Amino acid sequence: MRQFTTILITGGAGFIGSNFIRYLFEKTDFKGNIVNLDALTYAGNPASLADIQARFGATRYFFEKADICDAGSIEKVFQHYDPDAVVHFAAESHVDRSILGPGTFINTNILGTFNLLETCRKMWEGRSDVLFHHISTDEVYGSLGESGYFSETTAYDPRSPYSASKASSDHLVRAYHHTYSLPITLSNCSNNYGPYQFPEKMIPVMILNMLEDKPLPVYGDGKNIRDWLYVEDHNSAVWQIMCKGIVGSSYNIGGENEWENIHLVNKLCELTALQTGKDPDRYKKLIHYVKDRPGHDQRYAIDCRKIKEELGWQQAFSFDEGLMHTVKWYLSNGSWIEGIKSGEYRRWMEQNYQGR
Ligand code: NAD
Ligand code: DAU
């Protein structure tokens, strides 16, 4: 089992990163320090870690506002904290935004990853007791038809600016291992859901629109399929890879939980109605088919036998349990939601759904 003293987490103020930091403090025996390096873009929210800051701030948890596109800032953070592991979550993560404006995806996801790798190469030269874990996505593999699964050996075939930028970053990470012997591991996972997800992604968009009696925008015919993974299950997999994964290896992480979007939206209507005491049909009537996402990938499905067989990982949350927890979380965290519904958020929603 690998052990770490100081873990530098990039993008720790975002959805999965903030859940990962909470997971490390609350659900593992990790006793060291965590440094959260985040630029606080529209998707980064320090409020997601207010409890962690209050309990561990300045003793075991340290926040550094820095942009991974700025190599000098990353180096300073490295020099100050001397981390022995990096977990790289920071990215532009939303496919629709990448279609409207790919430039920031190229900068953050490709150049930002390159800067981090360069810093690690310099600072960790010759060390084998360190680890760079890269967080990536199943979207690098492209789109599936009715059958088949993405495995670790599936050829890359990214089809959106987002997935192309993530695919580039994956290749860079592997290249640094092969060329410079940087100790790396890599994971590609399916759609995460759970608390603290920014409401531009499908599940929080639907729950929050129901609460405001707004249309539930289903893209195209609603028959696209995603494999849904509860965020804590993703994070337990990442931690197991960090502790026990083979250096230089990639692991696929999935929920083994495929649903058509329209099925999921109907299910969310029912679960939300259970909590609010309203009639589910009231929410279902809000379902509104809108213009499809350009180049919309049809189906993602992960074959995660490798991580199960090699590391003994397994999902702990059923879909019903994870979704109910998520719905309840959004219903009882009004102040977090109000905090992010800034002018920027409203502008995005208007721009994204205009004309659909
Ligand atoms: P998110 O958009 O919620 O959070 C991204 C975080 O990165 C934010 O805190 C943001 O401030 C920070 N960030 C963005 N640009 C930065 C920069 N230039 N410098 C420093 N920080 C910056 O994303 P997420 O959904 O939590 O995804 C995290 C990672 O997981 C990403 O790499 C994403 O590609 C990957 N991933 C996400 C999913 C999913 O379903 N959400 C699935 C598979 C893989
Ligand atoms: O598969 C992993 C990927 O999952 C991650 O790499 C991405 O960072 C993450 O954003 C997610 O990408 P998707 O595009 O699959 O997620 P999104 O929540 O945007 O959309 C899920 C599905 O729902 C997709 O088929 C598009 C559809 N959709 C989405 C939104 C926001 C709708 O029908 N209506 C919506 O309003």
Q: How far apart are CA 250 and CA 272, in angstroms?
A: 37
Ligand 2 pocket: which residues have CB below 6 Å? 93-95, 137-139, 190-191, 201-202, 205, 217-219, 224, 226, 261, 293, 300
Report the pLDDT value the prediction gives residue 356, as an integer from 0 to 100: 59
**Catalytic (active-site) positions:** 138-139, 162
Task: Please report which ligand is nearest the Cα atom of 115.
Answer: 1
CA of 169 to the centre of ligand 2 (A): 20
Query: Using CA positions, which residue lies closest to atom 23 of ligand 2?
Result: 202
Q: Please say whether the beta carbons of 77 and 62 come within 8 A.
A: no
pLDDT band (50, 70, 90) for residue 345: confident
pLDDT tens, 80-129?
999 999 999 999 999 999 999 999 999 999 999 999 999 999 999 999 99
The closest alpha carbon to 222, from 289, 163, 177, belongs to 289
Task: Please report which ligand is nearest the Cα atom of 18.
Answer: 1
Query: Using CA positions, which residue lies closest to atom 3 of ligand 2?
Result: 191
CA of 206 to the centre of ligand 1 (A): 20
Q: Please say whether the beta carbons of 123 and 77 come within 8 A.
A: no
Mean pLDDT of 155-176: 98
Contacts for 49-58: CB closer than 8 Å, 24+ residues apart: 49/12, 49/13, 49/18, 49/21, 49/22, 51/22, 52/21, 52/22, 52/25, 55/25, 56/25
With 60 as the cut, is the pLDDT of residue 291 above it?
A: yes
Domains annotated for the chain, with CATH where assigned, are: 6-194+231-255+296-317 (3.40.50.720)
Collect all residues with Cβ–Cβ distance below 8 Å to 189 and sequence separation of at least 6.
135, 136, 137, 138, 229, 234, 237, 252, 253, 254, 302
Which atom of ligand 1 approaches the CA of 138 most closely?
A: 43
- Ramachandran angles phi, psi of 321, nearest 5°: -65, -50
Pocket lining: 254 vs ligand 1, CB cutoff 6 Å: no
- Ramachandran angles phi, psi of 274, nearest 5°: -60, -40
Q: Which of 21, 22, 35, 41 to mutate to test the pocket of ligand 1 (most atoms within 8 A of CB)?
A: 41
> ipTM of the predicted structure?
0.99
